[in-house]
Structure 1
Amino acid sequence: MAAAAQASAVARPPGYYVRQRLWQNRPAVAGLAFIALCTLVALLGYWVLPDNSPNANHGFVQIQKERPVLHVLLLRQPLPDSARNGQGADNIFSTWLHGREPDVQETPIGGYEFSGDSIILKPRGVHSAEAGRLRRLALATVVGHPGPRAELQREVQQHHLINRTYLLGTDKAGRDELSRLLLGTRISLGIGLVAVLISLVLGMAVGAVAGYFGGWVDSVLLGVMTVVWSIPGIMLVIAISLALDSKGVWVSFVAVGLTMWVDVARVVRGQMLSLRSATYVEAGRVLGLPTSRLIAQHLLPNMRGPLIVLATSNFAAAILLEAGLSFLGLGVQPPAPSWGLMVKEGYDLLGTEAGLWLTLLPGAAISLLVLSFNLLGNGLRDAYDPKTPVAG
């Protein structure tokens, strides 16, 4: 009885050993942790952004191209009635999906002082000798309603003057670089996910049919794969964008996915050629199982390991391809905060003080995310190798 208990304790499913090998690989675990963090940021979206305006596109010309850890004093005023009436009702879901239009008018200022029933604003960067550029506003205009002078001054100081910190500075349009960088994870991970799903579905279908049936079907499909393989991915994306007559976000998602299915199809075809003559497949044919059931329920599940490893590498390749296309102006279009587009905006400013970090920040984000997927892919490849020892 003790021997039976010991045998039951040792007999574990193959997935257990795969997970054990993966957790022993520290670089792979680090990559998985960073991917999980980026996924969390992408899922929370506008809820966690300092600037939750649509596309984090709320900028100020007064603070363009400012360095990181920027402290700004802002005056908040009620929006004009025309702008306020044009805004729809916001809710939690719409804010998560599209962001939220600002409900007040904000103006960066360099300082202020009260004078009677007015507030005198000093523009940012203005010295005392340039007093002619000072701006005077009535307190009732700032607050939005009349009242005693002392009460209006107190309300302005408490509710209409705020200090905001831009941890990563601002870009060339005076927008919060941190918000756009965080929101860019949604586009990068989204395009990677859509590209991987498209490549898996299309590649598995084509590769399974070619490998299982063989003969002239295999020759025709292999020829199609070879032709698509020989065309550069960027050229395919350009052709697909022109065919669909659009450069929108979703067109970029689909176009990148349609360029990556060949890798999956070749792997599935090779695996199918080696598995179609296996004993359990022959037994299924004898029992009269439909071909579709044999492929979907018996052959493809045995390719799970190679496909997962290939999916992680395709995820990284899709992120790089999207960044390259956006850098060239062929991918995601402004004002969407694509990391590739942000690198391009920083590259255009190289030679200025702001150009360095506006290029390095999104470039580092791309590099870290791609590196994380590559580390995870290497870890999964080793984890699915039965020759890799398992500790404990």
Structure 2
Amino acid sequence: MSRNNQSLTILALQKFKKNFWGVLSLSFILILVFIAVFAYVFAPDNTKNANWGDLSIHSKSPGFTVEMLTLPVPGKTEETHLSDYFTGKEFIQPKVPILGYEINNDSLTYTEYANDPDLAVTKSVPLTVFGTTNLETIKSDFIKEQKFILGTDSQGRDLLSRLIVGSRVSIAIGFVAVFISLLVGIFFGAIAGFFGGKVDAFVMWLVNIIWSIPTLLLVIAITLALGKGFWQVFVAVGLTMWVEVARVVRGQVMSIKQMQFVTAARALGYKNVRIIFNHILPNSMAPVIVISAANFASAILVESGLSFLGLGAQPPVPSWGGMIKDHYNYIILGKPYLALAPGIAMLLLVLAFMMVGNALRDALDVKAE
């Protein structure tokens, strides 16, 4: 098949595949989406919201290792259900970081973890708590070494687990906000560009009003009106990003509606709705796809800014912006990685979307060879 006979979609895909950074960025995004969906499978701490922590091991450096003693609760068992792989476990048996332990007769004596061993507290529990008196069984099932790859945060929670689970918020806000912005923006842009006149004047007046308000300020206003929460933030961000989509779609529709195939559709008696959705919009999606990638990155940054201000995802739900808010003062306290880790994760994700957007722009440029 010759190049001239190939569809524009195939040509765009071929051009996109030749863009190394675009393909690499898209692969990174897909891998991160997969990890986010199965976050509790990959996270070392699979409790709901990765919220298990102990203040005795707070702010520990990456690679920190400690022995964990599990103290079973009588009458309660730790069960694993299929839903736990997506939502996390609601209940886990209590764990205690320890410095050491010894078993004497019918009891286990352990020393709780403390930075200063001289201040460590020693406690004893009967062996019957573990449901067995077999020493080897107790050692293998209830006393295990736990390693924190990225260390612990200010509350003694596993930083890596919080990062993995927190990626869900950033990726979800991108998808939902872009979906809302496309839904609203394409509708207003299409009717403004197609009908023109007073309809166009009204839509552009509305767009200019919204565009004149600083994005973060508008998002904060909508968030306060809807209330603090997970989904309220998604809606608020989406409702502030549709104006760019509307302007792009309006320009595309105004250009395309003058073409001969639209005139032919009118002559055949097709209704305006059919002409817009079946003929004009499919031919104006290329720039919309590009701007959607940029809006995805913008939505992540806006949500992080809201979380930093305390208006985003509310505790105990982890989010990268919230993690930076909780630990930015540690940058000058000798543990900068607590704030840098979520910051770098956010940087890489936003950069990946911008690189994909640039690659799509080049691939969808029909004038470029």
How does the TM-score come out when normalised to structure 2? 0.95
State how 1:191-210 maps to structure 2 within 5 Å: 191-210=173-192
Moved more, 217-226 or 122-131: 122-131
Amino acid at match of 2:100: G
Report the alpha carbon displacement of residue 139 of structure 1 after superposing the two structures with TM.
1.6
Which of 148, 172, 181 pairs up with 2:154?
172
Task: Give the corresponding residue for 1:134.
Answer: 122
Contact residue 33 and residue 171 of structure 2 kept, 8 A: yes
- Whole-Å separation in 2 of the counterparts to 1:80 and 1:250: 38
- Whole-Å separation in 2 of the counterparts to 1:128 and 1:358: 25
Contact residue 38 and residue 86 of structure 2 kept, 8 A: no
Report the alpha carbon displacement of residue 269 of structure 1 after superposing the two structures with TM.
0.4
Q: 1:129 to 1:8 in 2, by over 3 A?
A: closer
Amino acid at match of 1:386: V
- Whole-Å separation in 2 of the counterparts to 1:212 and 1:273: 6
- Whole-Å separation in 2 of the counterparts to 1:365 and 1:128: 35
Contact residue 113 and residue 121 of structure 1 kept, 8 A: yes
Which of 297, 300, 303 pairs up with 1:316?
297
State how 1:154-303 maps to structure 2 within 5 Å: 154-244=136-226, 246-303=227-284
Report the alpha carbon displacement of residue 307 of structure 1 after superposing the two structures with TM.
0.9
Report the alpha carbon displacement of residue 32 of structure 1 after superposing the two structures with TM.
0.7
Q: 1:348 to 1:80 in 2, by over 3 A?
A: farther
Q: Are 1:366 and 2:355 counterparts?
A: no
- Whole-Å separation in 2 of the counterparts to 1:379 and 1:130: 58
- Whole-Å separation in 2 of the counterparts to 1:8 and 1:20: 14
Instruction: Give runs of ≥4 in structure 1 deviating > 3 Å.
Output: 7-10, 125-131
Report the alpha carbon displacement of residue 108 of structure 1 after superposing the two structures with TM.
0.5
Task: Give the corresponding residue for 1:380.
Answer: 360
Moved more, 67-76 or 256-265: 67-76
Which of 45, 48, 71 pairs up with 1:51?
45
- Whole-Å separation in 1 of the counterparts to 2:364 and 2:118: 72
Report the alpha carbon displacement of residue 386 of structure 1 after superposing the two structures with TM.
2.4
- Whole-Å separation in 1 of the counterparts to 2:4 and 2:266: 35
Which of 29, 32, 49 pairs up with 1:38?
32
Report the alpha carbon displacement of residue 327 of structure 1 after superposing the two structures with TM.
0.7
Contact residue 171 and residue 300 of structure 2 kept, 8 A: yes
Report the alpha carbon displacement of residue 332 of structure 1 after superposing the two structures with TM.
1.1
- Whole-Å separation in 2 of the counterparts to 1:209 and 1:9: 35
- Whole-Å separation in 1 of the counterparts to 2:80 and 2:296: 34
Contact residue 37 and residue 86 of structure 2 kept, 8 A: no
- Whole-Å separation in 1 of the counterparts to 2:80 and 2:28: 32
Amino acid at match of 1:208: A
Amino acid at match of 1:375: M
Report the alpha carbon displacement of residue 97 of structure 1 after superposing the two structures with TM.
3.6
- Whole-Å separation in 2 of the counterparts to 1:55 and 1:128: 31
Which of 8, 11, 27 pairs up with 1:17?
11
User: Residue 197 of structure 1: SS of its match in structure 2?
Assistant: helix
Report the alpha carbon displacement of residue 202 of structure 1 after superposing the two structures with TM.
0.3
- Whole-Å separation in 1 of the counterparts to 2:245 and 2:44: 40
- Whole-Å separation in 2 of the counterparts to 1:25 and 1:183: 31
Report the alpha carbon displacement of residue 340 of structure 1 after superposing the two structures with TM.
0.5
Q: Are 1:70 and 2:58 counterparts?
A: no
Q: CA offsets, 1:244-293, max 9 Å, x none?
A: 2x211100011000000000000000111111111111111111111111
The alignment yields a C-alpha RMSD, in angstroms, of: 1.8
Which of 96, 101, 109 pairs up with 1:120?
109
Report the alpha carbon displacement of residue 388 of structure 1 after superposing the two structures with TM.
3.3
Task: Give the corresponding residue for 2:22.
Answer: 28
Contact residue 78 and residue 103 of structure 1 kept, 8 A: no
User: Residue 311 of structure 2: SS of its match in structure 1?
Assistant: coil
Q: 1:215 to 1:129 in 2, by over 3 A?
A: closer
Q: Are 1:103 and 2:92 counterparts?
A: yes
- Whole-Å separation in 2 of the counterparts to 1:129 and 1:301: 72
Q: 1:344 to 1:126 in 2, by over 3 A?
A: closer
Task: Give the corresponding residue for 2:330.
Answer: 349
Please, which runs of 5 or more residues in structure 1 have no aligned partner? 1-6
Q: 1:284 to 1:358 in 2, by over 3 A?
A: same
Please, which runs of 5 or more residues in structure 2 have no aligned partner? none
Report the alpha carbon displacement of residue 127 of structure 1 after superposing the two structures with TM.
6.7
Amino acid at match of 1:379: A
Q: Are 1:91 and 2:81 counterparts?
A: yes
User: Residue 252 of structure 2: SS of its match in structure 1?
Assistant: helix
Contact residue 53 and residue 158 of structure 2 kept, 8 A: yes
Structure number with greater Rg is 1
Report the alpha carbon displacement of residue 8 of structure 1 after superposing the two structures with TM.
6.1
Q: CA offsets, 1:344-367, max 9 Å, x none?
A: 11113332233x001100000010
Identical columns (%): 43
